[in-house]
Amino acid sequence: MPSDVSPVIDARGVSKMYELYDRPQDRLRQLLWPGGKPLYREHWALRDISFEVMPGEAFGIIGKNGAGKSTLLQILAGVLEPSAGEVVLPERTTALLELGSGFKPEFTGRQNVYVNAAVLGIPRAVVDERMEEVAAFADIGPHFDQPVKTYSSGMFLRLAFAVTTSLEPEVLIIDEALAVGDVFFRQKCYQRLEGLLSRGTVVVLVSHAMNDVAQFCHRALLIERGRAAFLGDAAAAVKRYMVGDGGGVVPRSSGENTPLCPELPAEEDADGFWPEPDAFLDLTDVAAASNDWAACTHVAVCDASGHVCRSFEQGETVSIFCRYVVAHDLEVAVAGVEIINDKRIIVFGKNTLQFNCEHPTATPAGASLRVRFDINLDLAPGEYTFNLGFSTLSLADFNRRSNLSHQELESRITVISILTKAGDFMVTFRSRDTTPVQLTHHGVANLPGQAAMRLYGGGKG
């Protein structure tokens, strides 16, 4: 993004305080004698929140219930005024904060399109041109010309989303609304949102569906107890949220304490396990979230022979190497990798527990761990990035891991380090063995399976 491009949203030191009264009559007394002793307790829903959102950016806001997300959204939507700070927003800002909000119950869907457009300052002639597009996207048939008070929640969502996106606001704020729709409608919505982003619209998404935030948003703000706990890459923000309070992972700025790929110490190697020193990437600008228990010092991307490689043909194997230095006694260390495509979709994710490889059952402070992931790239041709994660698990939980549900196992894992976009590579069409055809499959990933075909009947005509 050029440096001279101005942010569409500019929030500066936004804070919001509510006055909490023990008795209703105290509120009245406070109004009548404003200069007297305060009869309320201060509750700060937000404290000093600052961020910018640039044109064409999808920005997520996440946090636990009560963290202050709804208050911030209402300030962004113009429903609330901040107690301190300010938010600079364009005039054409619209929000899906609640299904049917802004709709006139007695008006039809078609009439409500005109109402919403008038609020956004869009001329009626423009709305007339786009009315059929709105009706087609909402796909609610004859209900489009019926009073919206007769609509189901799903019909409300379809109409509201169709109106707000077809009229193309400069900022679109969405609060959990997409959770109501079925999978087909959600896919349709995200396709529409991608089109808006390409034309410079800002999309602010608030959702408890963390996969949606990680895969759709570019950056995200994590709010904890009314304060900004993390602001940065959406995937890193989601992982920070998943760790939760007291999880030990704290954000640090890009490059802080991250070596520029220092010289590797003389550690005993297994033959063929580790690449040459010049294979390792520069980690200076890699976004990271970590605590002081361990740090990732080296990352390399190689072919199956351990040679530096950044371009692979479909079906070839990429070897991703990473080295962690441990500064705190751990029991069972767990390492993981995620591969993300250019649509920010996680197409593959797996950790050493899922690979079912050998794990050291004790990892003392001062030790180092070298990890190698060999992954068969049965993926669509394109560009990919990868994330790296490092966690720990007690020996007792490790020994009974196969008897724990996924949720139980995940709750027992402590996240230590996350590197977002640690490296990248490309997958291309096959040029050598093109049997049976050059492109091995359609879609993002190739799945194991087989096909059979039989002919019955027929004859010479």
The reply to whether 199 and 317 lie within a common domain is no
Residue 318 pLDDT exceeds 60: yes
Could you tell me if 212 and 320 lie in one domain? no
For residue 220, pLDDT over 50 is answered with: yes
φ, ψ at 156 (rounded to 5°)? -55, -50
Q: Token pair for residue 89?
A: 């927003």
Domain of residue 287: give its range: 247-428
Q: Tell me the pLDDT tens digit for each residue of 80-120.
A: 899 999 999 887 787 776 655 668 889 998 998 888 788 77
Q: Per the domain annotation, does 71 fall within a domain?
A: yes
Q: Determine, yes or no, domain membership for 261.
A: yes
User: How many whole angstroms separate alpha carbon 150 and alpha carbon 105?
Assistant: 8
Number of domains in the chain: 2
Residue type present at position 411: S
**Residue 338 vs residue 25, higher pLDDT:** 338
pLDDT > 50? residue 126? yes
Quote the pLDDT of residue 249. 40
Kindly state the helix (H) or strand (E) to which residue 227 belongs, with its residue range: strand 227-233
Q: Out of 198, 232, 266, pick the residue that ends a domain.
A: 232
CATH of the domain at 116: 3.40.50.300
Q: Which among 40, 49, 80, 89 has a CA at the least distance from the CA of 67?
A: 49
Task: Read off the tokens for 435.
Answer: 């049997």
Any domain includes 440 = no
Each residue's pLDDT tens digit, 20-55: 777 777 777 777 777 667 776 788 999 999 999 999
Per the model's pLDDT, the better-predicted residue between 62 and 211 turns out to be 62
- In the DSSP assignment, the letter for residue 312 is E
Domain co-membership, 251 together with 223:
no
Looking at residue 101, its pLDDT comes to 60
Residue 68 shares a structural domain with residue 25: yes
* CA distance linking residue 251 with residue 236, whole number of Å: 9
What is the average per-residue pLDDT within 377-392? 92
* Interval 173-202 mean pLDDT: 80
**Quick one: 103 and 141 in the same domain?**
yes
Residue 132 in this model has a pLDDT that exceeds 50: yes
Minimal CA–CA distance to 385: which of 349, 425, 417? 425
22-26, 111-115, 360-364, 455-459: least confidently modelled range: 22-26
23 lies in the same domain as 74: yes
Query: What pairs with residue 363 in β-bridges?
Result: 330
Give the distance, in angstroms, between the CA of residue 190 and the centroid of all CA atoms in the same chain. Answer: 13
CA 372 – CA 299 distance, rounded (Å)? 10
Amino acid 326: pLDDT: 94
Two tokens, residue 336: 């993981």
Q: What angle do CA 43, 94, 121 make, to 5 degrees?
A: 130
Q: How far apart are CA 387 and CA 297, in angstroms?
A: 14
Task: Give this prediction's pTM.
Answer: 0.65
Has residue 461 been placed in a domain?
no
**CATH code for the domain in which residue 268 is found:** 2.70.50.60
Instruction: Find all residues with CB under 8 Å of 324, minimum gap 6, and list them.
Output: 294, 295, 296, 297, 333, 335, 368, 369, 371, 390, 417
- Please report, as a single letter, which amino acid is at residue 276: E
Q: Is residue 87 one of the residues assigned to a domain? A: yes
23 and 49 belong to one structural domain: yes
Q: What pLDDT does residue 178 have?
A: 65
Q: 190 and 317, same structural domain?
A: no
Whether 179 is covered by a domain: the verdict is yes
Query: Mean pLDDT, to the nearest integer, of 185-206?
Result: 87
Residues 257 and 119 in one domain: no
Cβ–Cβ < 8 Å for 9, 171 = yes
Do the domain assignments include residue 458?
no
**pLDDT at residue 268 in the model:** 55
Cis peptide before 448 (omega within 30 of 0): no
Asked if residue 345 has pLDDT above 50, the reply is yes
Residues 352-356, mean pLDDT to the nearest whole number: 95
Token pair, residue 263, equals: 């010289």
User: Domain check: are 66 and 212 in the same one?
Assistant: yes
- More reliable by pLDDT, 211 or 372: 372
